[in-house]
Amino acid sequence: MEILIISGLSGAGKSRVAAVLEDLNFYCVDNMPVTLIPKFAELCAVTRGRYERVALVTDVRNREGFGELFKALDTLIANGFEYKILYVDASVDTIVKRYKETRRRHPLDTDGISLEQAVNKEIKILEPVRNRADYTIDTTGLTLGRLQRKLQGMFGTVEEDKLHITVMSFGYKYGLPIEGDIVFDVRFLPNPFYVAELSQKSGLDEDVAKYVFSNGQAKEFLDKFESLLEYLLPNYKEEGKLSLTICIGCTGGRHRSVAISEVLSKHLMRNGYWVESIHRDINKV
């Protein structure tokens, strides 16, 4: 079992780090009492692989202190569990700016002490944890995309590092999919619905697909669309996007959009993307 302890300065981005790790299949718990960590690890171990990756966030909100944290971590080792510590850092100026923007109160911001002094006080308190950290991330100036790439590089698997793409066919008569990131309308293509022997079939049937691609427009559209995606997808991934939904629509979502979506999905899979194909309206009348 993989146990990751997340600590660091308040306002440095521990919650954001935990959110990204959840996308990397970590089970995350925020501000767990440190004395419960060994027992929690035992409970996870008996679930027979259900919680193989666990991330626990602890910081100055924990009133038991970091001496108790280190005792709990020593107990983990004694019980046969291994762990790593990830320390989330940021410059004092950055943290002060973040707190001013959010208008939240720093945990150590008490009467007679400035925000900057509170941050510096926390740095001293957390120094023993920082010194024992296996990984350190400084979020000063980091965009969410860059933070995601750093965490994927540290903790992601090959599959998790891929952009997950959903290709969804739909019918405009049933409304636009609210989850669509990219939406294309293929109602300009010849409609098999008006061909008697094809109308009751779908774009999954070979003769319907052949009809859709019969006059060259569909292939020309896909060639241009695939070229556009070759440019877009690496840039989406560079900005930290983990998933993308591409929606292809026709009138009823049964013929043209399905045929196009199937060919597009196979093309993306051949290019190394993780692809899920969904035909939202294929069975609607």
Domain check: are 183 and 254 in the same one? yes
Q: Are residues 22 and 148 in the same domain?
A: yes
Q: Are residues 183 and 264 in the same domain?
A: yes
Structure pTM? 0.61
Domain match, 39 and 134 both: yes
Looking at the structure, tell me whether residues 12 and 146 fall in a common domain: yes
Of the three residues 135, 155, 175, the one that is the final residue of a domain is: 155
Instruction: Judge if 207 and 130 occupy the same domain.
Output: no
pLDDT mean over 259-285: 92
Adjacent-strand bridge partners of 164: 243, 274
Query: Which of 112, 251, 116 lies closest to 170 in space, CA to CA?
Result: 251
29 and 131 share one domain: yes
pLDDT tens profile 48-95: 778 888 999 987 666 556 778 889 899 999 999 999 999 999 999 999
Look at residue 61 and give its three-state secondary structure. Answer: coil
In a domain, 143, yes or no: yes
| Residue 138 sits in the same domain as residue 75 | yes
- Written as one string, the DSSP assignment of 201-246 is S-TTSHHHHHHHTTTSHHHHHHHHHHHHHHHHHHHHHHTT--EEEE
Instruction: Give the domain extent around 139.
Output: 2-155
Of 155, 190, 210, the residue that ends a domain is 155
Whether residue 217 lies inside any domain: the answer is yes
**pLDDT(162) > 80:** no
Tell which of 94, 126, 155 closes a domain.
Answer: 155
Mean pLDDT taken over the chain: 88
Q: How far is CA 110 from CA 80, 107, 113, 279, in A?
A: 41, 8, 6, 57
**Per-residue pLDDT at 202 exceeds 70:** yes
For residue 188, is it within any domain? yes
Long-range (24+ apart) CB contacts under 8 A made by 239-242 are 239/143, 239/145, 240/143, 240/144, 240/145, 240/146, 240/147, 240/148, 240/149, 241/145, 241/163, 242/23, 242/148, 242/163, 242/164
Residue 253 resides in a domain: yes
As for how many domains the chain has, the answer is: 2
Whether the per-residue pLDDT at 160 is higher than 60: the answer is: no
Summarised one tens digit per residue, pLDDT across range 222-261 is 999 999 999 999 888 877 777 899 999 999 999 999 999 9
Are 56 and 184 in the same domain? no
Same domain for 112 and 6, yes or no, is yes
Residue 284 domain-assigned (yes or no): no
- Within the chain, where are the H helices? 14-23, 37-45, 65-78, 92-102, 115-132, 144-155, 206-212, 217-238, 256-270
pLDDT of 157 reads 63
Please indicate whether residue 189 or residue 160 has the higher confidence score (pLDDT): 189
* 170 shares a domain with 141: no
In this structure, is residue 285 part of a structural domain? Answer: no
Q: pLDDT-derived band of residue 14, with 50, 70 and 90 as boundaries?
A: very high
Query: Are 74 and 176 part of one and the same domain?
Result: no
pLDDT confidence of residue 161: 58
Residue 168, domain member (yes or no): yes
CATH of the domain at 75: 3.40.50.300
